Amino acid sequence: MASRNDTNAKAAPATKRLPRTTLSGQIAEQIRTAILDGTYPLGAQLNEMELAATYGVSRGPVREALQRLIQEGLLRSEPHRGVFVPELAPGDLIDIYFVRRSLELVAMRRVVETPERAGVVRDLGAIVRQMKAAVRRKDWPQVADLDMQFHRRIVDEAGSERLTRSFATLQAETRLCLQMLMGGYRENAALIDEHQLLVDLVERGAVEPALAELERHFGDPVRTLNKANASRKEKLGAEAA
C-alpha cells in the first residue's frame, strides 16, 4: 500500500519553471514583430546590450531570444561582427520562391481535387477582402502579411502535417522576402485580382487552370525586387529634394 506521502507526491502537479523561457519568448516576439514591420530594417545590426536596456531585462533572455530568431532565419549571426537582419540576395529570393512554388503547387492540386472546398474558399475570400481594404489604406505591411496568410491557408488545407511543417520553415524567410518586395506591391495593380482568381478557380475545382495561375502568380521575384528598389530610390530622392 502506498504511503500518504507517496499519494500526495503523485497528486501534486508538476512544477513548471519557465520564467526565463517565457521571458525570452516574449522578447523574441517583440523583436520578430519589429523586424517584420521594418522597425529593424534589412541589414540592421542588433546589439544585445542595447536590446537588454530597451526591454529592461538582463542579457541572458535577450541572448536566448536572438538565438531563437537566428534558428528561424529572421536573424543571421556573423562571427566577429554580430547579429544582423539578413539582406537577401537575388539568389536567395530565387531559391526561396523555388521551394515555395514546389510546396504550394502540390498543396493546390490536393485542395482543388478535394470535393469539399467550401470552407477554404470562404476563408480565402475573406483574406482577399481584407487585402483589398489594406491596399486602399496603402498599408503595405498588412498586405504582405495577408498575402502570407492566403498561401499558408492553401498549404494547411492540403491536410499534410509534413507539408505544413516544411512550409512553416520557410515562413520567416518568405516574410523577409515580402518586406523586400513591398515596394513592388505598390506597382502591382493586379495583386487583388490575382488572388481573387485563385479563389474562383479553387471554388470551381479547375485543377489545371488553378495550377497554371498559381505558377504565373509567383512571377519573377527578382523583377519585382528591382521594381521595389526603384520605388525606394524614387521615394528617397523625393524626400531628399
Residue 46: predicted pLDDT: 95
Q: Which residues contact 238 (CB under 8 A, 6 or more apart)?
A: none
> What tens-digit pLDDT sequence spans the chain (241 residues)?
555 555 555 555 555 554 445 888 899 989 988 887 778 888 899 999 999 999 999 999 999 999 999 988 889 999 989 999 988 788 888 888 899 999 999 999 999 999 999 999 999 999 999 999 988 888 877 888 898 899 999 999 999 999 999 998 888 788 777 766 665 455 556 788 999 999 999 999 999 999 999 999 887 676 666 666 666 556 555 656 5
| Class (C level, CATH) for 16-84 | mainly alpha
Domain ranges of the chain: 16-84, 90-240
Residue 113: predicted pLDDT: 96
Burial 140-165 (b: 16+ CB within 10 A, else e): bebbbbbbbebbbbbbbbbebeebbe
Residue 31: predicted pLDDT: 92
Which CATH superfamily, name and number, covers 90-240?
GntR ligand-binding domain-like (1.20.120.530)
Q: Cα(204)–Cα(219) distance, rounded to whole angstroms?
A: 23
Residue 18: predicted pLDDT: 44
